[in-house]
């Protein structure tokens, strides 16, 4: 899987937390129908792997990315569940090496030039810039690119990205996508308000189309 191409085709990646497995499929359906087919299911809950497997089996249009992969067992569980790639909020060289051995595309989180340099040294071609706004936002990424653009690295900023600033990020060619938590609000998921989530996804998809064409 070419992570930059696949995630870049969506532009905005919904970052979702599934606490009730019964909500996994309807949530995924709403997001895909809204025009956001690449989903990051975070390993912040015990049912994350089950949710990935269930969505993969029942929502044909969805591409599943495992998020918040911090431990070896999570990496293994994500692969077994059918995730096509993994994302982490931080940089752990041992996890990156394990992902390489498993043949699992991996996008580690970085917030400094040193972390980015180490990630590139381990073969990572795409990184998650986290927490994006708190770590310096678009300006900081542009400053990093001043030294690292020649490597071909691509970025997925996450953390503080929202409709008001998403265009600023996506207008940078090396930023292929942004992670967004606003698309599947906790209260909407809890209430099963799939129409609201589909509408938020459609708005995000339209924003991407407006910026990237």
Q: What is the CATH number of the domain that holds 8?
A: 3.20.20.70
What is the per-residue pLDDT across 92-146, written as a single tens digit (0 to 9) for each? Answer: 999 999 999 999 999 999 999 999 999 999 999 999 999 999 999 999 999 999 9
Q: Is the peptide bond before 187 cis (omega within 30 degrees of 0)?
A: no
Supply the pLDDT for residue 108.
98
For residue 128, indicate whether it is catalytic. Answer: yes
Question: In terms of residue numbers, what domain contains 37?
Answer: 3-212
Evaluate if residue 13 carries a pLDDT over 80.
yes
Considering only CA atoms, which of 68, 121, 114 is closest in space to residue 90?
68
- CA 20, distance to chain mean position in Å, is 20
Q: What are phi and psi of 112, to 5 degrees?
A: -140, 165
Catalytic residue among 54, 128, 133, 154: 128
Residue 40 appears among annotated catalytic residues: yes
* pLDDT exceeds 90 at position 213: no
Number of independent structural domains in the chain: 1
Q: Give yes or no for residue 157 having a pLDDT over 90.
A: yes
Residue 212 pLDDT exceeds 90: no
- Is the pLDDT reported for residue 181 higher than 80? yes
* pLDDT at site 3: 93
Q: Identify each DSSP E strand in 60-123 by its residue range.
A: 63-67, 85-87, 106-107, 109-110
pLDDT of residue 55: 98
The Cα 117–Cα 53 span in angstroms is 33
Say what the pLDDT of residue 109 is.
98
Q: Which of 40, 84, 133, 198 is catalytic?
A: 40
Q: How confident is the model at residue 1 (pLDDT cuts 50, 70, 90)?
A: confident
Q: What is the mean pLDDT of the chain?
A: 97
Closest CA to 20 of 47, 57, 44: 47
């Amino acid at each position: 899987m070419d992570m930059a191409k696949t995630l870049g085709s969506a532009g905005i990646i919904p970052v979702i937390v599934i606490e009730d497995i019964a909500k996994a499929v309807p949530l995924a359906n709403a997001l895909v129908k809204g025009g956001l087919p690449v989903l990051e299911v975070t390993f912040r809950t015990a049912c994350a792997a089950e949710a990935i497997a269930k969505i993969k089996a029942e929502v044909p249009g969805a591409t599943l990315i495992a998020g918040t992969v911090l431990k070896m067992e999570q990496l293994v569980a994500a692969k077994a569940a059918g995730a096509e790639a993994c994302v982490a909020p931080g940089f752990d060289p041992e996890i990156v090496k394990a992902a390489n051995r498993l043949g699992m595309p991996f996008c580690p989180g970085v917030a400094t030039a040193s972390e980015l340099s180490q990630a590139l040294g381990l073969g990572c071609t795409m990184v998650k810039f986290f927490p994006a706004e708190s770590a310096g936002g678009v300006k900081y990424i542009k400053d990093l690119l001043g030294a690292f653009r020649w490597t071909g690295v691509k970025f997925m900023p996450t953390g503080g990205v929202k409709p008001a600033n998403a265009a600023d990020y996506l207008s940078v060619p090396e930023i292929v996508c942004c992670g967004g938590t606003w698309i599947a609000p906790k209260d909407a998921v809890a209430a099963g308000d799939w129409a609201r989530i589909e509408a938020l996804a459609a708005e995000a998809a339209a924003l991407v189309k407006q910026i990237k064409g």
